[in-house]
Amino acid sequence: MAEVYIRVAEEENEEPMEIPSEDDGTVLLSTVAAQFPGACGLRFRSPVSQCMRGVRLVEGVLHAPENGWGNVVYVVNYPKDNKRKMDEIDASSAVKMKRGDMKTSDLIVLGLPWKTTEQDLKDYFSTFGEVIMVQVKRDAKTGNSKGFGFVRFTEYEAQEKVISQRHMIDGRWCDCKLPNSKVNMIHCFYLQQGPDEPLRSRKVFVGRCTEDMTTDDLRQFFMQYGEVTDVFIPKPFRAFAFVTFADDQVAQSLCGEDLIIKVHLSSIFL
């Protein structure tokens, strides 16, 4: 599919702005967010059903509806009641993504041979990029290696490459990972909450479902509120479903709402 421009506006009846697609016909959410800070998705009015429909969003990539993007005006979705906060989050993450200057982290190196020294580590990892720190963890008394260590690169690209593969170091296969401490920090960043806060639910209960509702129906419907990461419908039919969003705030905002889905009325609870 060739590059096209899709028409996007804050509201249905407002002057649309043309946003470029990628070579494969998809549109990046980051491209939309560059013009509409805080955007979390797109929706449009189906010419057939006259209902608003969500645009499929998977990991930041917006996918065209069945018959292509067409000439309809796409309307920007914002996280409900949370525009300001998302502005800040998106701005900071967008800057990091665009400039490619994501900060590197120490990486834990697991499975090192007992004999491996820090010089060995530096020599090995320097083939991936500039190394700014290596450590081999040792027993304080004996000085024996504990069989693991840490490494840090200057370039984020080198870090990604190193994490993505296994490493043969001095005759043993080793793994490089983000240390748990950092993984927790990253989780907190994406969940927009502190490490001590109780986990906020990203999943809503959808009551009064009808048997003709498919997971795709529910996904299409709820995408207008934010990125849907999972839809679960119990089998056999039990008249309810669970919909999980990428953003817990979207889930919170839908709590208590009554929504018309495929003509029927469903009630939303957490």
Distance CA 18, CA 158 (A): 36
Among 144, 163, 190, 214, binds DNA (CB under 7 A): 144
Shortest Cβ 113–DNA spacing (Å): 5
Total Cβ atoms within 10 A of residue 235: 6
Q: What mask, x for binding DNA by CB under 7 A, covers residues 176 to 215?
A: -x-xxxx---------------------------------
Among 30, 117, 126, 135, binds DNA (CB under 7 A): 135
Distance CA 37, CA 35 (A): 6
Give the residue with the Cβ less far from DNA, 47 or 143.
Answer: 143
101-120 binders of DNA (CB under 7 A): 105-106, 108, 110-114
Angle 222-251-29 from CA coordinates, rounded to 5°: 60
Phi, psi of 200 (to 5 degrees): -90, 140
Shortest Cβ 101–DNA spacing (Å): 20
Distance CA 54, CA 74 (A): 9
Token readout for 172 is 């043993």
154-183 binders of DNA (CB under 7 A): 172, 177, 179-182
Q: Reduce the DSSP state of residue 87 to 3 states and report it.
A: helix
Footprint of DNA (CB under 7 A) = 105-106, 108, 110-114, 133, 135, 137, 140, 142, 144-148, 150, 172, 177, 179-182
